[in-house]
Structure 1
Amino acid sequence: MIYFRSDYSQGAHPEILDALVKSNDVHTDGYGLDPLSDEAREIIKEHIGRPDADIHMMIGGTSTNVTTIAAALRPYEAVVAPLTGHIYVHECGAVERSGHKVIALPTEDGKLTPAHIDDAWLLFEDDHTVVPRMLYISNTTEIGTVYSKAELVALREACDKHNMYLYMDGARLGAALTAPGNDLTMKDIASLVDAFYIGGTKNGAMIGEVAILLNEEIADHYRWMIKQNCAMLAKGRLVGVQFTKLLEGGDNSLFYEIGRHMNLMARKLKEGIEAAGYGFSGQSVTNQIFPILPKSLIEKLKENFFFYEWAPYDEDNAVIRLVTGFGTTEAEVNAFIAALR
Structure 2
Amino acid sequence: MYNFKNDYSEGAHPRILDKLIETNLIQQLGYGEDDYSKEAKSILKKKIANQQAVIHFLSGGTQTNLLVISFLLRIHEAVISAKTGHISANETGAIEATGHKVITVETSDGKLTPNDVTTVLKEHALAPHVVKPRIVYISNSTEIGTIYSLAELEALYVCCQQQQLLLYLDGARLGHALTAENNDLTFAAIAKYTDVFYIGGTKNGALLGEAVVFNRPELAVDFDYAIKQKGALLAKGRVLSIQFLTLFQDDLYLELALRANSLAMRMAKAIKDKGYSFLTESTTNQIFPILPKSVIEALLINYQFYIWKDIDSDYAAVRLITSWATDEKQVTNFINDILNS
Same fold (TM over 0.5): yes
CA contact 1:71–1:218 (8 Å) conserved in 2: no
1:48 aligns with 2:53: no
Counterpart for residue 32 of structure 1? 32
| Per-residue Cα deviation, 1:21-67 (whole angstroms, up to 9, x for no partner) | 11111111222121111110000011111111111010000010010
Letter aligned with residue 267 of structure 1: M
Written as runs of structure 1 = structure 2, the 5 A alignment for 1:1-341 is: 1-124=1-124, 125-249=126-250, 253-340=251-338, 341=340
Distance 1:27 1:7 in 2: 33
Distance 1:213 1:276 in 2: 45
Partner of 1:203, secondary structure, is coil
Q: After TM superposition, give the deviation of residue 149 of structure 1 in Å.
A: 0.7
CA contact 1:36–1:241 (8 Å) conserved in 2: yes
Partner of 1:50, secondary structure, is coil
Partner of 1:210, secondary structure, is strand
Partner of 1:79, secondary structure, is strand
Runs (5+) with no aligned partner, structure 2? none
Moved more, 22-31 or 134-143: 22-31
Distance 2:182 2:276 in 1: 24
CA contact 1:265–1:329 (8 Å) conserved in 2: no
RMSD: 1.0
Distance 1:185 1:206 in 2: 24
CA contact 1:81–1:105 (8 Å) conserved in 2: yes
Moved more, 273-282 or 96-105: 273-282
Q: After TM superposition, give the deviation of residue 227 of structure 1 in Å.
A: 1.9
Q: After TM superposition, give the deviation of residue 177 of structure 1 in Å.
A: 0.3
CA contact 1:83–1:107 (8 Å) conserved in 2: yes
CA contact 1:143–1:288 (8 Å) conserved in 2: yes
Identity, % of aligned positions: 48
CA contact 2:53–2:217 (8 Å) conserved in 1: no
Partner of 1:297, secondary structure, is helix
Distance 1:199 1:288 in 2: 15
Moved more, 60-69 or 20-29: 20-29
TM-score between the two structures when normalised by the length of structure 1: 0.97
Q: After TM superposition, give the deviation of residue 72 of structure 1 in Å.
A: 0.8
Moved more, 87-96 or 234-243: 234-243
Q: List, as ranges, runs of 4+ consecutive aligned residues in structure 1 with deviation greater than 3 Å.
A: none
Letter aligned with residue 173 of structure 2: R
Distance 1:330 1:152 in 2: 34
Moved more, 310-319 or 166-175: 310-319
Q: After TM superposition, give the deviation of residue 226 of structure 1 in Å.
A: 1.1
Partner of 2:71, secondary structure, is helix
Q: After TM superposition, give the deviation of residue 233 of structure 1 in Å.
A: 2.1
Q: After TM superposition, give the deviation of residue 331 of structure 1 in Å.
A: 1.0
Distance 1:217 1:78 in 2: 20
Partner of 1:235, secondary structure, is coil
Distance 1:195 1:111 in 2: 17
Distance 2:196 2:41 in 1: 15
Letter aligned with residue 240 of structure 2: V
Moved more, 224-233 or 169-178: 224-233
CA contact 1:4–1:307 (8 Å) conserved in 2: yes
Distance 1:280 1:296 in 2: 17
Letter aligned with residue 153 of structure 2: L
Distance 1:211 1:31 in 2: 15
Runs (5+) with no aligned partner, structure 1? none
Distance 1:146 1:309 in 2: 22
Letter aligned with residue 86 of structure 1: H
Q: How many matched pairs?
A: 338
Distance 1:100 1:228 in 2: 18
Distance 2:313 2:218 in 1: 51
Letter aligned with residue 191 of structure 2: A
